Amino acid sequence: MPRRLEERLAAIHELAGDPHGPAAVAALRDALRSKTGLLVAAAASVAAEADIGDLVDELPAAFERLLERPVERDPGCRGKVAIARALHRLERWEEGVFPRGARHVQREPVWGGSEDTAAELRGVCGLAYAQLGRADALDVLADLLADPERMARVAAAQALGDAGRPDAAALLRYKALIGDDEPAVLAACFASLLALSGEVALSFVARFLDGKRSERSEVAALAMGESRLAAAYPLLRRFCGDSLPSLRAEVGYLALALLRLDAATDHLVEVVGAAEPADAIAAARALATFRDDAALAARVRAAADAHPSPDVAAAARAAFAPR
């Protein structure tokens, strides 16, 4: 990065402490009107954080400039992403930004070929469609759910959950059924389904709990745990009983711990105190996800100390050691 650019970026970051003065606003406006994506990104973030209306009004024009010769002016789409994030954060819809950003593809040269650096931009714009209540949100998000880039697909799945529309569940179910090479996309689909439909979606997500070492099974179990739905407890407990030992240890017990339900916690503490050493240690490590919970730590240590194998007590102490 040229030294001059570094100095200008440093100056913009310093303005964040007091961005409302006339000199600061003038400097930020100058940066927004530049044709350098990094400068625009820095200024857009400061302007949005301070909610300086005159500068926010400049963002669509800045986005337009960065779409001209985009690889040269805004490699990595940093400026365009910052503008989209700023407007999204301020809940301000701009026709010149979000529809174009949701379709923008920016291929940049890399060793051995090229890569699309606009996936994050498309994803941010998709989130804006959902969260700002656009009538055509599902159409746009359906396209993004089939995007070639993982980041855009994940954002689309998350946005479908954020949309708060029951009809979005059909798209998520379809995507889950046809699958995806990226576990993060399926995880987002399951999480959004559970957020939209709650217990109604549990039976669908539970169909993917096959007890074998498959990525779909793992992400489904963890999504059910993160849902914190009481009805997920018996399903996950059955999953642990039916799973291969490695899957139960690495995923099943963690999913139960993530529920943060008394019944699930009680069961895992019992496993720590009485199960085979490998299971007892795995359950202790799963509960250690919440190692800052002093009462839980005391219960796990007491159960581990009562286990016939000293290895369990040692593993529990290590798992709950201060970070």
Statement: the pTM of the whole predicted model exceeds 0.85 = yes
pLDDT value at position 15?
A: 83
Residues 245-281 pLDDT 10s: 999 999 999 999 999 999 999 999 999 999 999 999 9
> What is the Cα gyration radius of the chain?
24
pLDDT at 72 over 70: yes
pLDDT at 2 over 70: no
Confidence of residue 41 (pLDDT cuts 50, 70, 90): very high
Mean pLDDT on 185-214: 92
pLDDT value at position 14?
A: 85
pLDDT value at position 3?
A: 60
Residues 10-21 pLDDT 10s: 888 888 878 888
Among the listed ranges 29-33, 50-54, 61-65, which one has the minimum average pLDDT value? 50-54
pLDDT value at position 200?
A: 92
Give how far Cα 225 sits from Cα of 35, 175, 194, 207, 246, Å: 46, 21, 10, 15, 18
- Cβ distance 256 to 248 under 8 Å? no
Residues 305-322 pLDDT 10s: 999 999 999 999 999 998
Most distant CA pair in the chain: distance in Å?
Answer: 72
pLDDT value at position 1?
A: 52
DSSP string, 142-198: HHHHT-SSHHHHHHHHHHHHHT--TTHHHHHHHHHHH--S-HHHHHHHHHHHHHHHT
Instruction: Please tell me the distance from the alpha carbon of residue 124 to that of residue 149, in angstroms, as a whole number.
Output: 13
pLDDT at 194 over 70: yes
Q: Which helix (H) or strand (E) holds 138?
A: helix 137-145
Residues 137-161 pLDDT 10s: 999 999 999 999 999 999 999 999 9
Mean pLDDT on 25-35: 92
Confidence of residue 130 (pLDDT cuts 50, 70, 90): very high
